[in-house]
Amino acid sequence: MIKATMAHTPRKRFGQNFLHDQGVIQRIVTAVNPQADQHLVEIGPGEAAITRLLVKECRHLDVIEIDRDLAPLVADTCGNPDNLTVHNADALKFDFCSLATSGKLRVVGNLPYNISTPLLFHLLEQADCVADLHVMLQKEVVERIAAPHGNKSYGRLSVAIQTRCRVQPLFTIGPGAFRPPPKIDSAVVRLVPDADKIAAIKDPVLFNRVLVSAFSMRRKTLRNALKKVADATTLESCGIDPSLRAEQIPVEAFVSLANCLATKTNTDTTENE
């Protein structure tokens, strides 16, 4: 590690908790299992703890780091390899597909906790360009992503991710692996975007509207929570019992409901023409 990096004071506003436990770093790299012909992208390399290992095992590694003090140090820390490109940029605004000129990307990141959910949605919008993601998140967020219906952690995030990806929680990491240690446990999850699942959602905007409404009042029945989207009769005609609550509805049923409502909306529009 070079001296300038050692002197870096972690910035809270960028969610900087740097990994220092070599066992954990190796475990993440083993889970990713990078191959010599693959193109990887790392979000938030920080002091290059994971970067240094990834770059040795792949064809090309692009890294996206928002901190303009850290970004210039990443390449030096890795020994300036030819297959590393550093982007001093905001991953939330980054066009990942612009990098996918010769095949899909494998995305890796110990994600800044303060932006992890919007970042996941930003990545999923570009899922066509992504082969898989290995991300470290708050353990509680990984539990929400993976939760089945009926579980207390099941919510909008579970449905939004499970309808687009295969979800595989991998392992948990305690605060001691980081500098400074966060107050919470972290976990690594593998997400594999599934083109068939994504294509099954006919109207993504309507689907999102259904999820937002259904889970914004999760203690209420769907009859009440979805009032602005569909009335009870329409819900019933789409095969949904309006007396149930959102947390009781399986992931696939949300897709069928939104698709059914999309068909009805289209029919209504056609009839009005």
Please give the annotated binding residues for S-adenosyl-L-methionine, written as ranges: 17, 19, 44, 65, 90, 110
CA-CA-CA-CA torsion sign (78, 79, 82, 87)? positive
Build a one-symbol-per-residue string for 103-142: x at contacts with ligand SAM by CB under 6 A, - elsewhere: -------x-x--x---------------------------
Are 131 and 139 contacting, i.e. CB atoms less than 8 angstroms apart?
no
Please report, as residue ranges, which positions from 83 to 102 form the binding site for ligand SAM (by CB under 6 A): 90-92
Closer to ligand SAM by Cβ: residue 109 or 242: 109
Q: Provide the token pair at 91.
A: 């991953």
Are 209 and 225 contacting, i.e. CB atoms less than 8 angstroms apart?
no
Sheet holding 39-43, edge to edge: 84-87, 60-64, 39-43, 105-110, 130-138, 186-193, 165-173
Using a 10 angstrom Cβ sphere, with 0-12 exposed, 13-18 middle and 19 or more buried, the burial of residue 69 is: middle
Within 13 Å, how many C-alpha atoms sit on residue 110's CB side?
Answer: 27
- Binding test (CB under 6 A) with ligand SAM, winner from 38, 40, 41, 44: 44
Q: Rounded to an integer, what is the distance from CA 244 to the centroid of its chain?
A: 28
Which positions ≥6 away from 64 have C-beta within 8 Å? Answer: 41, 42, 43, 44, 87, 89, 90, 91, 94
State the minimum distance, in angstroms, from the CB of residue 208 to ligand SAM: 22
Residue 55 touching ligand SAM (CB under 6 A): no
How many residues are there in the chain?
273
Please report, as residue ranges, which positions from 152 to 181 form the binding site for ligand SAM (by CB under 6 A): none
Residue nearest to ligand SAM as judged by C-beta position: 44
- Binding test (CB under 6 A) with ligand SAM, winner from 29, 49, 142, 260: 49
Q: How many beta carbons lie within 10 A of that of residue 146, not counting itself? A: 20
Q: Provide the token pair at 264.
A: 């009805």
- Binding test (CB under 6 A) with ligand SAM, winner from 24, 41, 46, 229: 46
Closer to ligand SAM by Cβ: residue 69 or 132: 69
Residue 19 touching ligand SAM (CB under 6 A): yes
State the minimum distance, in angstroms, from the CB of residue 96 to ligand SAM: 12
- Binding test (CB under 6 A) with ligand SAM, winner from 29, 32, 40, 50: 50
Residue 31 touching ligand SAM (CB under 6 A): no
Given the rule CB under 6 A, which residues bind ligand SAM? 14-19, 43-47, 49-50, 64-67, 70, 90-92, 110, 112, 115
